[in-house]
Chain A
Amino acid sequence: MTTTPHIDVEDLVVQYGPVPVVGPISFSVSAGEQLTLLGPSGCGKTTTLRAIAGLEKPVSGRIQIGGQVMYDGARGINIPAEQRGLSMVFQSYAIWPHMSVFENVAYGLRVRRKSGAEVRQRVGEALELVQMAGFADRMASQLSGGQQQRVALARACAFSPSVLLFDEPLSNLDAKLRGDMRVELRELQHRLGVTSLYVTHDLEEALAMSDVIIVMKGGHIEQNGSPEDIYNRPRTRFVADFVGSANLIAGRLEAASSQGSDVTLHTDDGVVIRGVAHGRKRGERATLSVRTVHFMLSDDAAIAAPNNWPVTVRRSIFLGDMRQIHVGWAGQEIIIRQTRGPEWREGQQARLSVEPEHCVLLEGD
C-alpha cells in the first residue's frame, strides 16, 4: 500500500461564469479504492468528476493524481484531459457509431501507438473481461444498450489506466440490467484493482459498489464515510433523508445526557426517546434520525426495551418485498418498513420499539 493517496483533491472550486457550482471541497482516494460521489442532480458531483478528468476547468484548488499535479490554480498548471492518463465511462456510453466494436475498444491503444499484435491481444482481453468476445466485428450502432455499456467499459479498461472514472454509467439501463451490472462492475473493479471514482444519484448503487461514499449537496461534502457509516450513522438531516428513508424526530435534549455517547430526547409532546450521539455536536434542540427499517412493530405488549411505546396503526401498505406501516406517535407520523410480521390493519393497536443505537443524533437542529 502506498502512503500517499492516489487521487488527492484540495480546496477545489469550479464555477460556471460567476456561479459557483462546486466547492471548495477536499477529499482523497486511496490506491485500489472505489469512491462514490452520491447526491441529487445539481449537487456538483458530475462537475467534480469532470474537473478531475480535465474536461472542466476549475477556478482554484489542486488536483493530484498518482503523485503528479494535474491542476493547480495557484501555480497555473492545468494538464489537458488527454495527457492525464485517466479513463472514463460516460453516462451516454459515448460509443462511436462509425466504428466497429473492435475499433472502439482499440482506440486508446492506437492513440498510444501499440503494435498491431498487442492491440489485438489487449482488445481481445478487454472484450473477454466484459463477456463481449464474440462481438468484435459488429458495428457499434447494432448493439443494445446493455452491450454498449459493456463495450464502453472494455474501451475504458483496454489501455490499463490506473484510474477509472464513472459518470452515472448505469442510469440509462433498465432496472433489472442495472442490478446485474452493479454486481459485475464491482467484481471487475476488484479484479483489476484499479482506483475508481464513481458518480451516481442512486443510493443502492452507491451502497453496493463503494468502499467510501461522499454525499454531496450544493457543491459541498455533507458526509464522507463507509457505506455502513453513511447508512447507519447519517451526519445531517440531508444525508438521513437522501440516503434511504428515515424518520426525523425533533425535540429538546435532556441536559443530563449531554455527556458521553448516549442522549435522551424529549419531543414537544413529552415523549422520551433514547439515542446515540456518535460524537456529533449537540445543542439544546436536536433531531434524531431513525431508519424506517430499524423501527419494530409487534403485537407483543410485554417488550422491556428502553424505547417502546403503544401506538395505533394508521395505514398499512403492501410494497412487495416489504410492508410499509404508518403509525401515530408523539404527534407525528412514523413510517416503518418490515419484511416480516403480520398484515397490520388500520386502527389496530401495536407496540413500537427501537434500539437506542439506531436513533442517531443529527448535526444542526
Chain B
Amino acid sequence: MPVPAVKARPPMQLVIGGGVALVAAIFVLYPIFYLLQAAFAVGDPNVRPPEAYGLDNFARLPDYWEIMLNTLSVAFAATLMALVFGFLTAWILTRTNVPFRKTLEQMMAVPYYVTPLLGALAWSLLGAPESGFINQVWRAMGGTGALIDVTGAVGIAWVMALFEGSVAFVMISAVMRSMDPSLEEASQVIGAGRFRTMMKVTLPLVAPGVLGAAIYVFAEMLGSFTAALVLGTPSRFYVITTAIYQLVSQYPPRMPLAAAMGVSLFAVMFIMLFLYRRVVAGRSYVTVGGKAFRPRAMDVGAFRWVLFGICFLYVFLSVILPFATLIYASVQRLAVAFPAADNFTLEHYRTAFSLNAIRSAMGNSLVLGFFTATLGVAVTGLIAWLIQRSRLPGRGVLEYIVMFPQAVPRLVFAFGMMWAWLVFPIPIYGTIWLLLIAYVTVFLPLGVRTITGVLVQLDKSLEECGEMCGASWGYRLRTITMPLLRPGLLAAWLLIFIASVRELGASILLMGPNSKVITPAIVEAFFSSSSELTAAMALIQTVVIGLAILVLVPLIKRASQHGSSSA
C-alpha cells in the first residue's frame, strides 16, 4: 500500500544560512588568496595576474633579520610582562582577600578600552628620551640622560603589555576561578602544608592555562601594530608589522616583499594559535566543573594592602597616568612636565574641531561603526547559530573560516584586501564601502565569539520546543532565539561598534582621500603635527565614542524590544 508523505517545505535555513555563510567565506578567503598570490608572484610586480610563481620574495627575507629580531624581542618581552602582570593580578583578585576586590576586578577591564593608541601616545609624552615628562623630571632632579626610553624594544613591549596584555589576566583568572577548591583542601586534609599544596597541586593545575595564555599573547604580540607604529617609527625601530606598512606606503611601494612578510607572519601566528588550541583542548585536568563555587580566598593579613598596591599600580600605569598625561598635554601650548600659567591653552581643541578632515573622519567613523556593528551582529548572529545549532553539513568548516581573521593581523589582512579589491570590476577601492566590508570581515571572530558565548548557555530544548510546537525556522528565530539572545547581541553590537570606530590596522591601508576615518587621522596628525594636538584629538575621539554609546544603546535596546514584541 503506498503511504502518503507530507510535503516538505523548501528549507529556508539552507537558502539563507548557506547564502550568508558563503558570502562570509568569500569575504574572508578572497583577500587571503590575493595575499598568497602576491607573496609567491615573481617577475614584474605590476603585471596581474602574475607571470610566474616562486619563492624569490621569501628568499629576500633574511636580509631583514634585524626586523625579525626586533619583532621577536618585542613580542617576547611584552608576553613576559603581560604574563607577570596577568598572573599576579589574577592570583591576587581570585585567591586572596585583597580589599576592594570587586572594584579592582572591574578596573582590570579598563586598559583594554584605553586602547594601544592612547596608551602609546600617552607613554610617548611620558617616556620619550628627550622630551618625556618623566625624563624632564629626572633631569630636573639632577639626573643625566634619560631615565626611561619607550622608543626601543623594551619600551614598546611595555606599552603593548599594558594595553594589549589584559587578555592574559582574563585567561589566567578564568583558570584560577574555575579550579575546584576541594582539590587543594584534599591535599591539606592529607597533611600537606600550604607551600607544598601550592607547589604540588595548585601550580600543576593552573600550568596548562598559563601556558595557553602565554602562547595566545605571544601570537597577539607578534601581530601587534599600533604601539610599534607610534613609538618605534620616529626612531626607525621597525617590527614586522610596521615594516610591512612602511613597504606598502613608501614610494615606490614594495608589494611582493610586504606580502612575503605578511604571509610569514600569518604562518607563524597560525601555528601559535594552533598550538594554543592544542594546549587548551588537550588539558586533561578537569578544572571546570558544572558546580558553582567561589575559590577559597587566602587570608594574607596586612600583606593584603601590599597586594592592593600592586593592583592599583597596574590601574594607575595603564589608565590614570595615561589619561592624566593626555589631558595635561592637550591643554598646553608646548607640552612640558612643569606647569606654567602662560603655557595653558584650549587652542588645540579649537584646532581639532575646526579641521574639516577631522570632522569628516570622525563622522565617517561613527557612521561606519554603526553600520558595521548592525550588519556584523546580523551576520555573526546567524553564523553563530548555524555553527552551534543547525544540522547543516559543513558547519565545522564554516567555524574555521569565520575565525580565520583572528590569526591574521588586521594590517596584513587589509593588505590582502587592497590587492584583491584593486582588481575587482566594481570600483570600491578607496571608498567607504571597502572599509565597511573590511570591518565586517575582520570583526567576524569578535562577533561570533561573543554571540556564541551566550548562545551555548541557552538550553537547546528552548528552541526545539518551538520546533515541536510547529513553528518555522524564521518564526522560532524571531520569537524565541533572538529575544533570549538579546543581551549577547547587544554586547556584540557594542564591542564591534567600539572596535570599528577605533580600528587602525586595516583602515590605515584601505582608507582613501575621500573616505578618511578617525584613528588613522590621529596617527597622521601625530607624525605630521604636534603631540599636543594629537592628544586633544585622541581625547575627543574617546569622549565622542562614549557619547555615541550613551545615545545609541537605549535606542538599540528599544528597537530590539519593539522588534520582538511585535511578533
Do A and B come together as binding partners? yes
Interface residues of A (CB under 8 A from B): 53-55, 57, 64, 67-70, 72, 75, 77-88, 90-92, 94, 96-98, 107-108, 111-112, 155-156, 159, 165
Determine the distance from Cα of A25 to Cα of B467 in the docked complex, in whole angstroms. Answer: 25
27 CB-based A-B contacts, threshold 8 Å: A55-B467, A55-B468, A69-B3, A69-B6, A70-B6, A72-B5, A77-B5, A78-B8, A80-B9, A80-B467, A81-B467, A81-B468, A82-B466, A82-B470, A82-B472, A82-B476, A83-B470, A92-B461, A94-B461, A94-B465, A96-B465, A98-B483, A98-B484, A107-B471, A111-B470, A111-B475, A155-B469
Among B4, B6, B459, B479, contact of A94 (Cβ-Cβ < 8 Å): B459
Contact B462 A94 (CB under 8 A): yes
Contact B8 A79 (CB under 8 A): yes
Interface presence of B391 (CB below 8 A)? yes
Q: Which of B4, B465, B480, B484: most chain A Cβ within 10 A?
A: B465
Q: Which residues of B contact A94 (CB under 8 A)?
A: 459, 461-462, 464-465
Contact A54 B471 (CB under 8 A): no
Q: Which residues of B contact A64 (CB under 8 A)?
A: 3
**A79-B464 contact, Cβ under 8 Å, with A57-B391, A98-B484:** no
Determine the distance from Cα of A78 to Cα of B475 in the docked complex, in whole angstroms. Answer: 20
**A83-B469 contact, Cβ under 8 Å, with A92-B459, A94-B464, A97-B484:** no
Determine the distance from Cα of A83 to Cα of B470 in the docked complex, in whole angstroms. Answer: 6
A108 to chain B, nearest CB (A): 4
Q: Which of B11, B467, B483: most chain A Cβ within 10 A?
A: B467
Contact A90 B4 (CB under 8 A): no
Contact B391 A83 (CB under 8 A): no
Apart from A53-B468, A83-B8, A84-B6, 14 more pairs, CB < 8 Å: A55-B467, A57-B391, A64-B3, A78-B8, A80-B9, A81-B468, A82-B469, A83-B9, A85-B470, A88-B468, A90-B461, A94-B465, A98-B483, A107-B471
Across the interface, name the chain B residue whose C-beta is closest to A91: B461
Q: Which residues of A contact B475 (CB under 8 A)?
A: 111
B560 to chain A, nearest CB (A): 12
Contact B469 A108 (CB under 8 A): yes
A105 to chain B, nearest CB (A): 10
Q: Which residues of B contact A79 (CB under 8 A)?
A: 5-6, 8
Contact B471 A90 (CB under 8 A): no
Closest 3 CB pairs of A and B: A108-B469, A94-B465, A94-B461
Contact A68 B5 (CB under 8 A): yes
A154 to chain B, nearest CB (A): 12
Determine the distance from Cα of A68 to Cα of B3 in the docked complex, in whole angstroms. Answer: 6
Q: Which residues of A contact B6 (CB under 8 A)?
A: 68-70, 79, 83-84
Q: Which residues of B contact A111 (CB under 8 A)?
A: 469-471, 475
Determine the distance from Cα of A70 to Cα of B7 in the docked complex, in whole angstroms. Answer: 10
Q: Which residues of A contact B467 (CB under 8 A)?
A: 54-55, 80-82
Contact B470 A88 (CB under 8 A): no
Contact A86 B468 (CB under 8 A): yes
**A107-B466 contact, Cβ under 8 Å, with A77-B5, A82-B471:** yes
**A67-B4 contact, Cβ under 8 Å, with A108-B470, A111-B470, A112-B470:** yes
A333 to chain B, nearest CB (A): 35
Using an 8 Å CB-CB cutoff, how does the interface string of B325-366 with A read, 1 for contact, 0 for none?
Answer: 000000000000000000000000000000000000000000
Across the interface, name the chain A residue whose C-beta is closest to B483: A98
Across the interface, name the chain B residue whose C-beta is closest to A78: B8
Across the interface, name the chain A residue whose C-beta is closest to B391: A57
B138 to chain A, nearest CB (A): 60
A127 to chain B, nearest CB (A): 16
Determine the distance from Cα of A55 to Cα of B463 in the docked complex, in whole angstroms. Answer: 11
Among B464, B470, B472, contact of A55 (Cβ-Cβ < 8 Å): B464
Determine the distance from Cα of A50 to Cα of B281 in the docked complex, in whole angstroms. Answer: 30
Determine the distance from Cα of A66 to Cα of B484 in the docked complex, in whole angstroms. Answer: 35
Across the interface, name the chain A residue whose C-beta is closest to B567: A110
Across the interface, name the chain A residue whose C-beta is closest to B476: A82
Using an 8 Å CB-CB cutoff, how does the interface string of B475-498 with A read, 1 for contact, 0 for none?
Answer: 110011001100000000000000
Q: Which residues of A contact B472 (CB under 8 A)?
A: 82
Q: Which residues of A contact B4 (CB under 8 A)?
A: 67-69
Across the interface, name the chain B residue whose C-beta is closest to A75: B5
A126 to chain B, nearest CB (A): 12
Q: Which residues of A contact B471 (CB under 8 A)?
A: 82, 107, 111
Determine the distance from Cα of A210 to Cα of B459 in the docked complex, in whole angstroms. Answer: 29
Determine the distance from Cα of A54 to Cα of B469 in the docked complex, in whole angstroms. Answer: 12
Q: Which residues of A contact B469 (CB under 8 A)?
A: 82, 87, 107-108, 111, 155, 159
Contact B5 A69 (CB under 8 A): yes
Among B3, B11, B480, contact of A96 (Cβ-Cβ < 8 Å): B480
Determine the distance from Cα of A24 to Cα of B492 in the docked complex, in whole angstroms. Answer: 45
Q: Which residues of A contact B473 (CB under 8 A)?
A: 82
**A96-B468 contact, Cβ under 8 Å, with A78-B8, A83-B8:** no
Q: Which residues of A contact B480 (CB under 8 A)?
A: 96
Interface residues of B in 185-200 (CB under 8 A from A): none
Determine the distance from Cα of A108 to Cα of B465 in the docked complex, in whole angstroms. Answer: 10
**A87-B3 contact, Cβ under 8 Å, with A96-B462, A96-B480, A98-B484:** no
Q: Which residues of B contact A77 (CB under 8 A)?
A: 5, 8
Q: Which residues of B contact A75 (CB under 8 A)?
A: 5
Across the interface, name the chain A residue whose C-beta is closest to B484: A98
B474 to chain A, nearest CB (A): 11
Using an 8 Å CB-CB cutoff, how does the interface string of B109-153 with A read, 1 for contact, 0 for none?
Answer: 000000000000000000000000000000000000000000000
